[in-house]
A and B are shown apart, each in its own frame.
Chain A
Amino acid sequence: MFRQILFTQLRWTRTMIAAMAVLTFLTPAMAWWLGATRVLNPLSPRAIMAGFQSVSMILIITSLLGAFLVAAYPWTQDAAAKHVLPLSLPVTWRHYVAMRFGAGALTLVLPALTLWLGSVATLALIEIPSTLRAYPGTLALRFLLATLMAYSGTFALQYIAGRRSAIVMLVVLLGGLVLGLVLQFAGLNFIVERFFEFLTTSPGPLAVFAADWKLVDV
């Protein structure tokens, strides 16, 4: 059963997964290339350090957008026939949703894997202390966690709010924006700042996106 769910997941999202994989594979090389232009010795750890923070936004956007599409597209396939197919299968709805979630999450491992490979390949060009050789793994794990975080949020929202999920997202974003503006005008800006701090610093739910993405921090 799960194999077939995974098959459909890959069939629908293979282009997105492939694009994510290529992008994440090339990102460490891009980081090094950007950094190399700023330092004297392009083969030093400094080169990649300098470039990596600049390209971290690519990883954040890739994880957010990729996760959103990988969660959303299969849902639209089921929604096209009002979920009659999954509801008529001899498994409970929870079981089906769990398999669908698992299949999507599994496909997202691939871009994390290519990020790891890309990092290992890039680092192979540079002389770095052996103790720092574990960083590609850490970076890939961090990317995977960020992607799964965004994927879980989108997936949960869709299966709870259904076709209204886009409206729910819009209401939350606009509501947040309006509330922020009102608080700012009322001189209560510190509430907004505290709230963002809570979201983006560990163990906040968005900390995985916001903190330092430098590959080698020496």
Chain B
Amino acid sequence: MTDAIRIRGLTWKAGTDFALRDLDLTVPTGAIYGFLGPNGSGKTSTIRLLLGMQQAERGSIDVLGHQVPRDAHLALARIGYVPERLHLYQTLTVGENIRFRRAFYPTFDDAESTRLLKHFGLREHQLLSKLSKGESGKLMMLLALAQRPELLVLDEPTDGLDPVLRRELLSSLVDYVSANGATVFISSHLVHEQERICDWVGVMDQGRLIAELPMQEFRSGIKRVRLAQAPAALVGAPFTLLSRETVSERVEEWVVRGWRPEMQQWFAQDAATGTTEVRDVLDCDLEESFVELLRGARLQREGAL
């Protein structure tokens, strides 16, 4: 089975302040891939590049077997895209926007469009400029789902929406995916939202993909480990140290990635001092894991670890 999205060595610069650097990213077919990252980390730029809206300086992008940007139009026929902000014609009505979109997608499902229109409580004659933010979000989701895409690319689709509406949009998405087996690439900085629906996670920070792992691993693999007489240097550790903090004179708290219970033995047998004692291993919730991943990546770049 081919990957739905495959990005290799992608480099792109926006002015002098921001760049995506050597980005490698893989979204398996059928996965719901959460693309996490703080604001300004490069999520939207990556999405625009993978849809062929911008041209990379270097690297390759393959979406649903099509090379982008060369064959972006072929890939786009099979992609449902919900951008960060309303991109539809605001001087047209809901119905006119639906008809406009329908003309470009042979797979557009009228019955599904009508069903979702009713489900979301939208009216055909409403002018887009008069829609609330929530209604605009619903319409964009309706258009993306009604075209029956194989891949859904959603750029912060629930940003700024109330929890009820967020839940409504995400459940429509989950319903579609479970019925059609589509692949989803969803960017967000709302970690808990991703936890509920995603099975893969990619974390962006300052133009770099700092982690790409299955959600299960993300959920359970990042721990806070309290150590007495922690070694100063870490050589050949079977986990990745994300950060370390001194708690008291003898005790340090480490945040580690890729932790498994049997690794406690490593401190006794292999760690430099041999006198390290694991006092406690604490779970991190998803948001903590996310923050610690970012912190670890930044400390590593600064050479502080």
Contacts and interface: CB of A to CB of B under 8 A. Distances in A.
A85 B53 contact: no
Contact of B103 (A1, A85, A92): A1
Given A1-B104, A88-B51, A90-B76, 17 more contacts: A7-B96, A11-B91, A12-B91, A77-B89, A81-B85, A81-B86, A81-B87, A81-B88, A82-B87, A84-B85, A84-B87, A85-B87, A85-B89, A88-B81, A90-B104, A92-B73, A95-B73
Contacts of B8: none
5 contacts: A1-B104, A7-B99, A81-B85, A88-B87, A90-B73
Interface string A65-85: 000000000000100111011
B83 A84 contact: yes
A3 interface: yes
Contacts of A89: 73, 76, 104
B89 A90 contact: no
Given A8-B92, A12-B91, A77-B91, A91 B86 contact: no
B100 interface: yes
> Interface residues of A toward B: which range?
20 to 34
A4 B77 contact: no
B90 interface: yes
B54 to A, nearest CB: 9
B281 interface: no
Residues of B contacting A: mostly: loop
A11 B53 contact: no
Interface in B77-118: 77, 81, 83, 85-92, 96, 99-100, 103-105
> Max chain B CB contacts within 10 Å: which of A11, A77, A80, A89?
A89
Contact of B105 (A81, A82, A85, A90): A90
A179 to B, nearest CB: 34
A90 B77 contact: yes
A168 interface: no
A81 B85 CA distance: 8
A11 B76 CA distance: 26
Interface in A1-21: 1, 3-4, 7-8, 11-12
A82 B84 CA distance: 12
Contacts of A172: none
B271 interface: no
B272 interface: no
Nearest to B81: A88
A45 B172 CA distance: 71
B74 interface: yes
A23 B284 CA distance: 73
B103 A87 contact: no
